[in-house]
Chains A and B, each alone.
Chain A
Amino acid sequence: MGADDVYRYHCRRAGLLRVVIYMGLKLKALTRSPWVYHLSTGSCNNCDIEILDCLTPRYDLERFGIVLVGSPRHADALLVTGNMTMKCIPRAKEVYEQMPKPGVVIAIGTCSLGHGVFDGSYVMPKTVDEVLPVDIYIPGCPPKPEGIIAGVAKLLTMLRQKA
């Protein structure tokens, strides 16, 4: 092995180490206080309002460290509501790509589970889990804030057990 090769080998190891440390930190963040990003893919907004309600003084998600962020690049988890209408499919994929991995996708509300009352509509060729890899489903129309928090808490427990 020449000097160049040794140098390249050490650079690669250092790089790999950086990646491993980063993934570990991310996983830890995910299990401790995930930052979430909300994506609506054609919803009636009931679920969206209930998610926002979780921030208000009665439920107050922020005291658990869960913060709603303004960009998917800062997010650990994606909260998806809505039916995944045709116009939204490329947007949803773009947002998912921007979220740093490992990241989780949480589908909230009956629409994101399987269209709900809108089943059979001509503008909804796919369901949310056919476009994005969903990790947890929270049913309800809309799910109550307590339900959303319970779902997110279950997910955190699942992740901690995995990590």
Chain B
Amino acid sequence: MSEIIPIGPYHPLQEEPEFFRLHVEGEHVTKLDIEIGYNHRGIEKLAESKSWDQVVFLVERICGICSTSHPAASVCAMEDLGGIEAPERAQYIRTIVAELERIHSHLLWLGLAGHFIGYNTVWMWAWKYRESVCDILDKMTGNRQSYAMFKVGGVRRDVLDEDIPWFKKELDGLKPVLDMFKGAVIDDPVIHARTKGVGVLTKQQAIDYCVVGPTARPSGVPIDVRKDDPYFAYDWVDWDIVVLEEGDVFAKAVCRVLEMYESVKIIEQCFDKMTPGVIDLHVKELPPGEGIGRAEAPRGEVYHYCRSDGSNFPARYKVRAPSYVNIFSNEVACVGEKVADAALVLAAVDPCYCCTERLIVVDHDKNEERVLKANDLLRLSHERTKEVRKELGV
């Protein structure tokens, strides 16, 4: 249900009612109220009227950007329920699709964050190179988003051996691009000034709020479903998780950039290790019982729980997206920041896209409420970047 929380005031292109209410005193935020629910689509109830196979299609559309992670957790849950082990080739293909999605999601975030800070070139370039990842996915699965690849017991489409050299070539072309972004993000003094020390989530806060993914790892909490509870082919390939200590927006950005490198490593190894074989077990029914599936989306852990009474329809299907826990942590991460920075902090947890665009600011000193529209937030942020540039003499 409320698996997608559409917010994040860094996109000026959509209009939705307020999700955040910042209480300010002077220039700084003292409290944050969060309201969600605009994207609530009743998915859990709908899942009870769909067959098991259809549920995978339904959950794919919970979020467009993590459109592999929900089907991944879904097939893991159903396979856990039925005690099914998918064939090896299918696991490799699933891993490849999931990691490609991680790269394209992180590039998307990088672009939007760049746009918010005022670096429109970063936005255009990140999205331009994201197109090449979408091309690989298009050739492999038939669609740029919503791939419809996963099913219980395997995958729907095979990867043709004659296409693999082209995929590898495109991936190789991505490596210098990642180097460029690493340099652009990690070495830029203005980005350092705008994001270091901003929106710090301490390790204890990360643990109390039970956050996941690239909101937890930059705060020193080393959790990653791919390592802790391996699924697909993640424990058949060599890779490392990225853990940082500072917990600020800069650490979150660096974490995502470094994760992209790991993803490329994983995909290459999967292409090399994949052997010919079946890709689908043609599972016909699921026994009664309960199943739990987890997957690591670009935003953190996706958790699905299903209960079956032996029929073709779930008796209960519970979905929890990572943004559900990550957004709640903004309550503490935003406190003490200026308004221009607060919006950046809200965006740094990479809420599954932002459809929003208005913040309500409650000024306790002046005793008034003012609404900041997306354009205002962008303007505030760009002005802050200019100030920072002046201070640095850049």
- Which one of A43, A47, A70, A91 contacts B13 once the chains associate, using CB atoms below 8 Å? A70
- Which single residue of chain B is at the shortest CB-CB distance from A82? B39
Query: Quick one: which of B143-198 are within 8 Å of A by CB?
Result: 144-146
B355 at the interface (CB under 8 A from A): yes
Tell me the chain A residues, 27-56 only, with Cβ under 8 Å from chain B: 37-40, 42-53, 56
Q: In the bound complex, how far is the Cα of B375 from the Cα of A156, in angstroms?
A: 28
CB-defined interface of B42-56 with A at 8 Å, one 1/0 digit per residue?
110110010000100
**In the complex, what residues of B have CB within 8 A of residue A42's CB?**
38-41
Q: Choose from B14, B46, B61, B64 the contact partner of A38 (Cβ within 8 Å).
A: B14
A144 contacts B61, C-beta separation under 8 Å: no
Chain B 1-54 interface residues, beta-carbon cutoff 8 Å to A: 4, 6, 12-17, 37-43, 45-46, 49, 54
The main secondary structure of chain B at its interface with chain A is loop
In the docked arrangement, what's the CA distance between A53 and B13, Å? 12
Of residues 44 to 81 in A, which have CB atoms within 8 Å of B's CB atoms? 44-53, 56-58, 68, 70-72
Which residues of chain B come closer than 8 Å to A161, judged between CB atoms?
A: none
| Complex CA–CA separation, A39 to B1 (angstroms) | 21
A20 near B: Cβ within 8 Å? no
The 0/1 profile, CB within 8 Å of A marked 1, for residues 364-390 of chain B is 000000000111000000000000000
Q: Does B90 contact A (CB under 8 A)?
A: no
Q: Across the interface, name the chain A residue whose C-beta is closest to B123.
A: A56
On B, residues with C-beta under 8 Å from A are 4, 6, 12-17, 37-43, 45-46, 49, 54, 57-58, 61-65, 67, 108, 124, 127-128, 131, 144-146, 352-353, 355, 373-375
Q: List 29 A-B contacts (CB under 8 A).
A: A38-B15, A39-B14, A40-B15, A40-B355, A42-B40, A44-B67, A45-B4, A45-B353, A46-B65, A47-B64, A48-B355, A49-B64, A53-B127, A57-B127, A57-B128, A58-B128, A58-B131, A70-B373, A70-B374, A72-B15, A85-B40, A87-B37, A88-B38, A95-B15, A118-B46, A118-B61, A142-B64, A142-B145, A144-B144
Q: Lowest 10 CB-CB distances: which A-B pairs, in order?
A: A46-B64, A121-B42, A45-B353, A45-B64, A56-B127, A70-B375, A44-B64, A44-B61, A70-B12, A40-B355
